[in-house]
Amino acid sequence: MDLKKIAIISLFILLAGAAINIGLNIKDTLVHKTEEILVNDHSYNNIEIVSDNASVEILPSKNEDTKVVFSGKSKKKTKYNFSADVTGDTLEIELKEKRWNFIQFGLSSMNIKLTVYVSEKEYNELKTELDNGRIIAENTHFKNAYLTTDNGSIQLKNIQAENVNVESDNGQIIMEEVEGKINAETNNGRIIFLSTNLERPIQLESDNGAIEIQTNKEPQNATIDVNVDNGKIDIFGSSSKQSVFGNGDNLIKLETNNGKITVKNTK
């Protein structure tokens, strides 16, 4: 059999499979699903979350319980690997869609969300790895946080930490009153950083997007170093690429290829 015939047969099989898949998708409507796991083991100090297509929220629990809730709309036949277990000193959470066919047409889910409620204490490490979905964390305390998503925004508010590292390939990053050494990077999206404390190392980088810092006072001991390929600079009213405050010990490095960089006093 020559290559041309093989190519035609392969194309026919592919189109036939696609037609069957689309037909099944039409019949398989979206339904609301919800499931929750209560974690009775409270001895963990680290939290690790892995998901392919879900938004993740990390919130303080109203009591000492740890609860993980999966909710959203998906097709009736769609199944998920959903687990939350303590291994050693780490709470390991996973939500991934079970895929039986290598080609999938149509929408299999909508607004899938994983909400993690943890007791109010200081944790050693928070780590998330998401393929598609935003990350939200509020009112929690971690020594170290490593938050990554391939496609989705990252929003942090009232976070006590020593080191915070966040990265999104496509999505904006918003941080409000996040303590510790900051390293935030996005390929496509703006970065907004709101804080009353700039006396620490801060690095914000975007390939395509504006960077804005809002604070209520100028730093007393920091160097703000700015690099912009295409965009304006406004550092407390100055267009200088480097501004030194006091001894300039704490480096605040801001960089974007395309977009304006602003540091301003909100008072």
Give Cα 95 to chain centroid, integer Å.
15
At 15, is the pLDDT very low, low, confident or very high (cuts 50, 70, 90)? Answer: low
Domain chopping of the chain, boundaries: 3-189
Mean pLDDT of the chain: 87
What single letter denotes the amino acid at residue 181?
K
Predicted confidence (pLDDT) per residue in 75-116, tens digit = 777 788 999 999 999 999 999 987 654 444 444 445 789 999
| Six token digits for residue 143 | 């020594």
Higher pLDDT, 12 or 144: 144
Residues 235/243, Cβ–Cβ less than 8 Å: yes
- Strand, helix or coil at 8? helix
Predicted confidence (pLDDT) per residue in 214-246, tens digit = 999 999 999 999 999 999 999 999 999 999 999
Q: In this model, does residue 152 exceed pLDDT 60?
A: yes
Give me the pLDDT at residue 62, please.
84
Q: In this model, does residue 189 exceed pLDDT 90?
A: yes
Give me the pLDDT at residue 28, please.
52
Torsion of CA 242, 245, 247, 253, to 10 degrees: -40
How far lies 38's CA from each of 49, 97, 157, 199, 222, in Å? Answer: 16, 21, 25, 40, 45
Across residues 114-140, what is the average pLDDT? 94
Contact residues for 78 (Cβ-Cβ < 8 A; gap 6+): 28, 97, 98, 108, 109
- Phi, psi for residue 95 in degrees, rounded to 5: -140, 110
How far lies 171's CA from each of 91, 188, 189, 262, in Å? Answer: 27, 6, 5, 19
- Strand, helix or coil at 77? coil
Give me the pLDDT at residue 10, please.
58
| Six token digits for residue 217 | 């006072």
CA distance 174 to 128: 17
Least trusted range by pLDDT, from 27-31, 49-53, 55-59, 250-254: 27-31
- Strand, helix or coil at 143? strand
